[in-house]
């Protein structure tokens, strides 16, 4: 069984994978795997960009997303006439001829990985570039894999991929995705601690986040900055201590990362 591994720690957001997918599939049908992808409106490979935190404590994360080729694929369950099928190698494909008019296939995907082609009246999505894997082509891996020059995306036998410590998107859906991610972003709390009396930043302040989800610590650097990283989604009490002074604030990472800006310790 094949799987994709996407290592976000190496992704620079260049979009070459997305462009490669377009180049491979736009205005080029690869039947019986897929009709041509329209030039606009569909992104079988989509590099999402998230700006997290608040200025000046901001991080940008790039996340290539595609069909997850789920083992328990809702799109397959929703399809009539076997219009969505799973190959022996694990790739989930839509049969363009059988899927005509079946909008429910698109609606069933919880990842919104399927698009509707109005002109052809069919649902379309990533094919895993099955035409390249099966055929006699100069490249024998998916085009997005070939196009990524920093090897963010790997495709191969699941047993041969290093999947330790990886995660899938929305495991709570129960779909058992076969696209694994390394380095999925976790929440952070950041800020700059300063002494308002001395009008100076404070280096070496101890910052502790405590809550039901655990305890995390950081120390302010020579810029007065602290970064509490890899936090779960939770409510926290953040305590800052230095030179006998102490301050606590309530902070939530339930829905977003937190850049606290300048924090006066007095
Ligand atoms: S080509 Fe590679 S580095 Fe560029 S956005 Fe895609 S996965 Fe990231
Ligand atoms: S990600 Fe969506 S389209 Fe892909 S197999 Fe899973 S349910 Fe189907
Ligand atoms: S495997 Fe092929 S179809 Fe799927 S996202 Fe990559 S390039 Fe596009």
Tens digits of residue pLDDT in 29-80? 999 999 999 999 999 999 999 999 888 999 999 999 999 999 999 999 999 9
Residue 195: per-residue pLDDT: 96
What's the CA-to-centroid distance between 75 and ligand 2, angstroms? 6
Residues 44-57: b if buried by 16+ CB within 10 A, e if exposed: bbbbeeeebbeeeb
Nearest ligand 1 atom to the CA of 47 is 5
**Centroid of ligand 3 to alpha carbon of 143 (angstroms):** 6
* Closest CA relative to residue 227, chosen from 181, 193, 198: 193
| C-alpha distances out from residue 264 to 10, 55, 244, 245, Å | 36, 17, 14, 11
Q: What is the residue with the minimal CA distance to atom 8 of ligand 3? A: 21
pLDDT at 156 over 90: yes
**What are residue 264's DSSP bridge partners?**
194
Confidence of residue 135 (pLDDT cuts 50, 70, 90): confident
Residue 45 in contact with ligand 3 by CB distance below 6 A: yes
Answer yes or no: is the C-beta of 33 below 6 A from any ligand 3 atom. no
Residues 6+ apart with CB under 8 A from 191: 57, 207, 225, 226, 259, 260, 261, 262, 263
For residue 258, is pLDDT > 80? yes
Does 126 sit in the ligand 3 pocket, CB within 6 Å? Answer: yes
- Smallest-distance ligand from the CA of 115: 2
> Is the pLDDT at 242 greater than 90, yes or no?
yes
Cβ atoms of 37 and 25 within 8 Å: the answer is yes
| For ligand 3, mutation pick of 17, 19, 21, 146 (most atoms within 8 Å of CB) | 21
Which residues 6+ apart lie within 8 Å of 183 measured at CB? 7, 8, 9
Domains and CATH numbers, the chain: 2-182 (3.30.70.20), 187-264 (2.60.40.10)
- Give the distance from CA 23 to its chain's centroid: 22
Asked if 128 and 91 count as a contact pair (C-beta separation under 8 A), the reply is yes
pLDDT greater than 80 at residue 138: no
How many whole angstroms separate alpha carbon 74 and alpha carbon 175? 7
Residue with CA closest to ligand 2 atom 2: 109
């Amino acid at each position: 069984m094949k799987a994709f591994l996407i290592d976000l720690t190496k992704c620079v957001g260049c979009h070459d994978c997305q462009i490669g997918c377009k180049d491979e599939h736009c205005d080029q049908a690869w039947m019986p795997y897929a009709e041509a992808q329209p030039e606009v409106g569909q992104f079988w490979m989509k590099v999402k960009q998230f700006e997290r935190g608040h200025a000046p404590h901001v991080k940008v994360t790039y996340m290539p997303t595609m069909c997850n080729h789920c083992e328990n694929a809702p799109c397959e369950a929703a399809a009539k006439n076997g219009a969505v099928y799973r190959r022996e190698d694990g790739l989930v494909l839509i049969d363009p001829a059988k899927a005509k008019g079946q909008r429910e296939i698109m609606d069933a995907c919880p990842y919104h990985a399927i698009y509707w082609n109005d002109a052809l009246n069919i649902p379309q999505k990533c094919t895993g570039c099955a035409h390249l894997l099966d055929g006699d082509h100069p490249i024998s891996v998916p085009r997005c894999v070939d196009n990524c020059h920093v090897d963010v995306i790997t495709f191969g036998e699941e047993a041969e991929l290093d999947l330790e410590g990886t995660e899938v998107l929305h495991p709570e859906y129960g779909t058992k995705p076969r696209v694994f991610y390394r380095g999925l972003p976790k929440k952070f709390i950041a800020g700059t601690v300063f002494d308002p009396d001395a009008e100076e930043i404070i280096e070496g302040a101890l910052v502790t986040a405590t809550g039901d989800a655990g305890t995390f610590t950081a120390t302010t650097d020579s810029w007065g900055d602290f970064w509490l990283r890899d936090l779960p989604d939770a409510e926290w009490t953040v305590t800052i201590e230095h030179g006998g002074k102490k301050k606590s604030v309530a902070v939530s990472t339930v829905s977003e990362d937190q850049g606290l800006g300048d924090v006066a310790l007095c």
